[in-house]
Amino acid sequence: MLPLKEKDKPIVQKLLTAGCCARCVLRFCCVSVQAAYRQAQHETLKELQTFIMEKENNKVQDSAEIKPHNTELSQTVEDPPCKKAKLDPTEAVQSETDAAAMVTLKKESSVCVVCLGILQDLCGPDQAAKIAETVKAQNYEFDTLVLSVSLPAQLCVREHSCWVHVKKEVRQKGLVLDKDDVIQVKEAFKWVMQGLVTRQLEGVAVVSKSPFEVGVEFTHPNTESDCHFLAKCCPDCFKPTKNKQSVFTRMAVVKALEKISDGKFLEHYPCPPSEQSGSCTPQDIQCLHVSVFIAGRYNKFCRSLPQTPWVIDGERRMESSVEELIAAPILSAFRADGFNFSSSGREDVDVRTLGNGRPFAMELLNPHRSRFSKVEMKQLQETINKSSEKIRVRDLQIVTREAMSRMKEGEEEKTKSYTALVWTQKSIENEDISFINDIKDLTLDQKTPLRVLHRRALAIRQRVIHSMNVRFVDSHHFYLGLKTQAGTYIKEFVHGDFGRTKPNLCQLLKTDTDILELDVEVRIVAHVKEVKGDLLCFPEQVRICLWAIQNILLYFMHKIILRQ
Amino acid sequence: MDCVEQSNADAEAPSVIDRYFTRWYRADMKGKSCEDHCILQHSNRLCVVTLAETHPILQDGRTIKSINYQISNGCSRLNNKVSGKSKRGAQFLTDFAPLCRIMCSDDTEYTIYSCIRGRLLEVNENILETPNLLLGKPATEGYIAVILPKFEESKSITENLLTREEFESVVSKRSLSQPP
């Protein structure tokens, strides 16, 4: 039975007359017993009507007995029909109640003026079935779900109107009805729907926080203009939006309602709110899974592969890219809608990435599948590595959102190792270049290279080359190894960039030089944890040896077992 | 593991200029005989103004007495200050805007012009200290200035300029008409 008290009667009376549905009445009476909302609406309505009838009946009797009669309320509910029959012909004093009763009876099937049908026909087993159907069709993997409800902003205005309407009544009794005590439409909706949805989805719990969100949205185009008067009364709450979206967001409307005085409100808006003939329209149900984050390290072995897709004026200039090659198998395994790729630094199209590989992280958007075991991640890594010779991935793992931001950390502090193939115009011998090995901590002044000057500011950057080493190839070529500060432009150091990088290799060798190839080597970086047991940790030669030893041992063990 | 063949050895490997730039020429600038300019246009639309090999400054063993970026009372190219990605504050140049005046040892004076429209990003200050750069390496370290044309005009600025082949035919016609 409904946990209503005597003091609630005038509120119930007033709201039913105003055109509120049964559940909204319960909300304004601050009923927080969820079961009360779950029972069928018409049942609740009947109980409410009986409840207020009781008051009138008790008026006839001793008014002093009102308090003890509270407990009897629940018992007298059983014979409302008889009481009604009694009322109509005999009690002329109760004509007001009659009218009220008639009015409430008439309004049983009409749309609630506050919730516009959301707590009436729009919340029940049918909607739960629809939700369950959509969720199942989209084929997500999930243990729990959270139901998110989006209501039209004008419901706040209507709610406010009803609250003002009953405030007067309540104050007369010397009581206070705090707006915060009133149960929100959203909450009541969820109380009704959660259990129903769980049942439809074979026991999946509907909780308050979950990685999987099912969004239900309602609109009511006819009443959209209800909010507009607020823009005139509280203009500072409504900021003009650049998009074509409405200025009347829920937040802005709530803010304005907090500020506006009751008097001003009543000037512009009917109290109680106007009746509507149609209820809200439910929009398509949206399912969204929270993003999953993947991290790893990649090597690039190709000299014609950009890191991100290279598109100019809608035309693709170079086939494929590092991020697309890595993302493709991952997207299909996780059944995600899209991705964001982030890496710790980047290299040019024509530069190889060797060594342990460059750390990267990816955000997978709306993954339909989110749980992968370590073994499955290894298999996914293998799939990526088999898909292309141009890249290789290692230490692939699922990480948290923080990993994405940590990618960019420490980019400035790192030391980078490079190997460049240098061409010299004049003929050289080994002795001519050996002095380079002894150069330590050479400071360069690098003006922004011409090749990037169109999109970066003109500036002079000081960068340090910590050490170099040379490997003679022939009279016009040698390999130059460099360990430099992060952010050093290696190509410009080698060819001088029209003399805008000083000192440069041309000056050091006193001949024109040019760079033919460049490789970058990334050392172990703590950003991406090593996945233990990943044989790719070891350099190539060691790996081959281990593999050979493993196979030899297996062969002998096999033989021993056979002999026995 | 390279997937791209790199041309190894040979001293004729394409230079930085050949790899990234296209050469455009303006012959007989402002009607003055042989004052040829070479504009190096980068694939990212930046242009570097240089002297063409045929420019009188580079002929007859001349040496440079002075280079002056002060082209008028109110304007010195050295005062050009550029800030930010969009290169705000840059002096805007038209085709015939003077960049600098070069005085040679034999008291001949030459003005170098922009040849294209755009924002002046920088002028080469290295040649103020070391004028020999201009004589020895006119196409690289001896460059005059770097100009950024407007994005919309990046293709059209070359309409008034000659390609390498066209320029070479102009030059060869000159030597034919020259008195022996």
- A458–B82 CB contact, under 8 Å: yes
Report the 3 state secondary structure along A512-526. CEEEEEEEEEECCCC
| A155, A280 contact by CB (below 8 A) | no
Q: How far apart are CA B47 and CA B30, in angstroms?
A: 20
Q: Going by CATH, does the domain composed of B20-78+90-151 fall within 2.70.98.60?
A: no
The residues facing A217 across adjacent strands are A150
Element at A361 (helix H, strand E): strand A351-365
Q: How far apart are CA B25 and CA A416, in angstroms?
A: 41
Cα atoms in the 13 Å half-sphere on the side-chain side of A330: 28
| B149, B157 contact by CB (below 8 A) | yes
Q: Inform me whether the C-beta atom of residue A496 falls under 8 Å from chain B C-beta atoms.
A: yes
Confidence class of residue B60 from pLDDT cuts 50, 70 and 90?
confident
Å between A476 CA and nearest CA of chain B: 7
Q: How far apart are CA A390 and CA A256, in angstroms?
A: 58
The residues facing A295 across adjacent strands are A361, A397
B146 CB neighbours in chain A (<8 A) are 450, 453
- Higher per-residue pLDDT: A474 or A95: A474
Confidence class of residue A215 from pLDDT cuts 50, 70 and 90?
very high
Q: Inform me whether the C-beta atom of residue A390 falls under 8 Å from chain B C-beta atoms.
A: yes
Q: What is the mean pLDDT of chain B?
A: 85
- pLDDT at residue A63, as a whole number: 41
- pLDDT at residue B6, as a whole number: 42
State pLDDT tens for residues A318-374: 889 999 999 999 999 999 999 999 998 888 999 999 988 899 999 999 999 999 999
Q: Going by CATH, does the domain composed of A291-412 fall within 3.30.70.2510?
A: yes
Please identify among residues 410-439 of chain A the ones whose CB lies closer than 8 Å to any CB of chain B.
421, 423, 425
| In chain A, where the domains are located | 6-54+110-288, 291-412, 416-522
State pLDDT tens for residues A232-289: 888 787 777 777 677 788 888 888 888 888 888 888 888 888 888 888 899 999 999 9
Exposed/middle/buried for residue A290 (C-beta within 10 Å: 0-12, 13-18, 19+): middle
User: Which long-range contacts (C-beta less than 8 Å, at least 24 apart) are formed by A94-98?
Assistant: A94/A56, A94/A59, A97/A52, A97/A53, A97/A56
ipTM of the complex: 0.88
- Best probe of the B interface among A450, A451, A501, A517, by most B CBs < 10 A, is A450
Cβ atoms within 10 Å of A292's Cβ, excluding its own: 24
A456 CB neighbours in chain B (<8 A) are 85
| A451, B42 contact by CB (below 8 A) | yes
Confidence class of residue B8 from pLDDT cuts 50, 70 and 90?
very low
Type of residue numbered B63: T
- B148–A514 CB contact, under 8 Å: no
To the query of whether residue A348 is one of the catalytic residues in this protein, the response is yes
Confidence class of residue A207 from pLDDT cuts 50, 70 and 90?
confident
Q: Vertex A67, ends A61 and A72: CA angle to 5°?
A: 75
Most confidently predicted of A54-58, B141-145, B154-158: B141-145
Confidence class of residue B34 from pLDDT cuts 50, 70 and 90?
confident
Q: Inform me whether the C-beta atom of residue B11 falls under 8 Å from chain A C-beta atoms.
A: yes
- B44–A451 CB contact, under 8 Å: yes
- Pick from A423, A453, A496: CB nearest B46: A453
Please identify among residues 104-123 of chain B the ones whose CB lies closer than 8 Å to any CB of chain A.
121-122
Most confidently predicted of A48-52, A56-60, A395-399, B175-179: A395-399
B48 CB neighbours in chain A (<8 A) are 450, 498
State pLDDT tens for residues A436-485: 999 999 999 999 999 999 989 999 999 999 999 999 999 999 999 999 99
Cβ atoms within 10 Å of A327's Cβ, excluding its own: 20
Instruction: Report the CATH fold assignment for A416-522.
Output: Alpha-Beta Plaits (3.30.70)
The residues facing A207 across adjacent strands are A146
Residue B175 reports pLDDT greater than 50: yes
